[in-house]
Structure 1
Amino acid sequence: MKKYVIAIIFLLLLPSFSAERMDESLECSSATDEFFTPENITLKDDAFHVFPLHAETWYYECFFDNDYSMVFIVTVLSNGRTGLALAGIYIYRNTHLEYSDRIFIPSPFFFASDKKPLIKIFGKEIINGDIDKEGNLYYNILFENNGYGISLTFINETRGWKGKMGRGWWLAVPKCKVRGTLVINDEKMEVEGIGYHDHNIFHLYTPLVERGYIDGKLLAEPSIVWGEIFHTRWNSDAFAVISYKGKYISIPQKNITIKEDSYIYDHGRFIPTEVNFSFNVGNEMEGFLHVKAEDFHHIRLPLLWYWRYHVRVEGKIKIGKDEIEVNKIEMMELMIY
């Protein structure tokens, strides 16, 4: 029934679509061993993409040098002329959700630049990305409401990448140095930490033809972004990108194993609470990470099911002669259409 409802919504929105052709880089890719091939990014890649009605998200997460972590996410549903934006903040303490807030902003009270990562709501900047004098990519993000908020600068420490991902598109800046101010119950505290940013484009018909996805990351040296796209209950594609010493390396799908485990029933769905992720590229690179939920919460979205986890990641990674032991807290997310 859910997919029939989505289909009706999609058909109702069709008259709003522009006659212009969708960007060729977003054409559907089929399930192959080269499911995801990352490419270098430019500043404009992280801007809003103007073409027929679609959804884009800008996601920022950070683990601070105290007990706090946070996620800030902005979603824009627009065809470049009219639409709707949603800005949300989630603040965690010791992996447990302490505060969350979401604000809906209709046209014309939001602005998303198609030249650079710049988003405004009610005339105020909440995301502004640029290149500094040393050539470093950085983002200033700002949001405050009801005595909670952030004023942070994310400075890139790795090489960002982008590429087609199933029926969508993904850009990631896998590891950032973060500094700024965190506001908790009207109390301001100066913070530093390690962060992550990604930017996604979704077609409105995706929930009709896909099942969902799970993804996670390791914000370390090396940093890793891994995930599995569920096309159906029985068919999926996996990807993993390692960023190390100023370079990124895409692991071939045939060399990746991702296994979800320890399912529990939550909000009408069976969801995993453990994931085993491994890769092996001969003598060049190999690794195994055991990912186990420390805490998680469900975020209700229209016609979608979404969970965000704080997870304990343990294991070992070998790249050439370098061997790295891993034992740290990270985030993971699960989406079911």
Structure 2
Amino acid sequence: MNIRCIVVMIILLVALSSTVPCQTPQKHLDLPDEFIIEDIIMQDGGYHKAQKLGVEWWYFDANLNNNISVHIGLMILSIQSRGLVLPAINIYDHGKNVYHRREVCSFGTFAGSEEKPLIYFRNTPYINGTINAQTGIADYHVDLSFGEAAVSLHFNGTARGWKTDSWAIIMPKAVVSGMIFYNNQVFFVEGEGYHEHKWDMPITFASENKGDYWGRILSNNTSLVWTEIYPRLSEKRVLAVLNIGNDEYMKIEEDDFTLTVLEYEPGLFQRIPSVFELKIHNDTIDYSAMMTSINYQHIQFLTKQYWRYNVQILGEVKIQGAVDELIDSKGIMDRTKFSLFQ
């Protein structure tokens, strides 16, 4: 590797450190005046070549049988197909992180189609999938192997995907099956999962925002994806979208959504939120969910901190004329802080 490449990689690593703690794929949004929600198309699952320095990622998680949950991610920091590639695998047993691996790789390990969900890492398909143009339902095979672990899973979407600008929730809800290998053991698994794809995220996000929460909640006939973002110079912002059945979704108005931290547990120099209450109320929806931490993974890089929670979720969702059911599921949510003191 010549000196120019080394210098470029150092610059990119410094830029990355201002955006992502410990190079762990996370979910963040740019903040338009209004979040516009629309259907996804095939190209939303593919590679989006960055014209300016930015971040793109493909994120998957799943809650599986035998109390296993998993996160698989591939992130790229790039400009004009030059940059870094950051794969990650996290495996949890009863919510406890039992395998954690991330790497920083050269951009030569990555290749991707701009027309469809076909993404390669080290000459092996990481994603090979399709999105139905009529139904908005996605079907992906996901394979990632590095370090001492391997994940090979089939994500069969069961709800219409949606997007806002450059953040695509490809699978708000999916049936998942396949194989996980770690600790010299093979686990055949099945359960429910989620997939999103984000591109064109500016590296200035961390300097413009104090932090955020993100999560997803499943019930028999609904799936809710939500995020609450805390800009440094303005009021908090909320984006929440509720899928109903396999075809319908609706955006929740920001004033109809509340997230409250009910309990904390002691941490090093700070209290860690551990029980959360989420409520949505308007003329047609009454939604309440209590999310209780089973365990969490904490990652810190300089002043940036990130928590990925495995949570037990109990609640109820009522949608006039459509749904009246209880929520009793496990899920994944996360919290990010971009400074130690805020």
Partners of 2:40 and 2:104 in 1: CA distance? 29
SS of the residue aligned with 1:66?
Answer: helix
Give the drift of 1:118: 2.5
Counterpart residue number, 1:144: 145
Counterpart residue number, 2:45: 46
RMSD: 2.5
Q: Percent identity?
A: 26
Q: TM-score, normalised by structure 2?
A: 0.82
SS of the residue aligned with 1:211?
Answer: strand
Counterpart residue number, 1:186: 184
Mark the CA change 1:240 to 1:141 in structure 2 (over 3 Å): closer, same or farther: same
Mark the CA change 1:251 to 1:28 in structure 2 (over 3 Å): closer, same or farther: closer
Counterpart residue number, 2:113: 113
Partners of 2:212 and 2:106 in 1: CA distance? 28
Mark the CA change 1:38 to 1:107 in structure 2 (over 3 Å): closer, same or farther: same
Q: TM-score, normalised by structure 1?
A: 0.83
Give the drift of 1:145: 3.2
Counterpart residue number, 2:88: 88
Asked whether the 8 Å contact 2:262–2:276 carries over to 1, the reply is yes
**Pairing 1:239–2:247 present:** no
Whichever residue aligns with residue 29 of structure 1, its letter is: P
Q: 1:135-284 to 2 correspondence within 5 Å?
A: 136-164=137-165, 169-201=167-199, 202-220=201-219, 221-232=221-232, 235-245=235-245, 246-264=247-265, 266=267, 270-282=271-283, 284=284
Counterpart residue number, 2:32: 29
**Pairing 1:66–2:66 present:** yes
Moved more, 127-136 or 220-229: 127-136
Gaps of 5+ in 2: 1-10, 16-28
Stretches of 4+ aligned residues off by more than 6 angstroms: 132-135
Mark the CA change 1:332 to 1:86 in structure 2 (over 3 Å): closer, same or farther: same
Give the drift of 1:132: 7.3
Gaps of 5+ in 1: 1-8, 14-25
Whichever residue aligns with residue 37 of structure 2, its letter is: P
Whichever residue aligns with residue 40 of structure 2, its letter is: I
Give the drift of 1:122: 2.0
Partners of 1:238 and 1:47 in 2: CA distance? 26
Deviations along 1:161-185, one digit per CA (max 9) or x if unpaired, are 1004xxx734342101111111132
Give the drift of 1:299: 2.2
SS of the residue aligned with 1:108?
Answer: helix
Number of aligned positions between the proteins: 308
SS of the residue aligned with 1:240?
Answer: strand
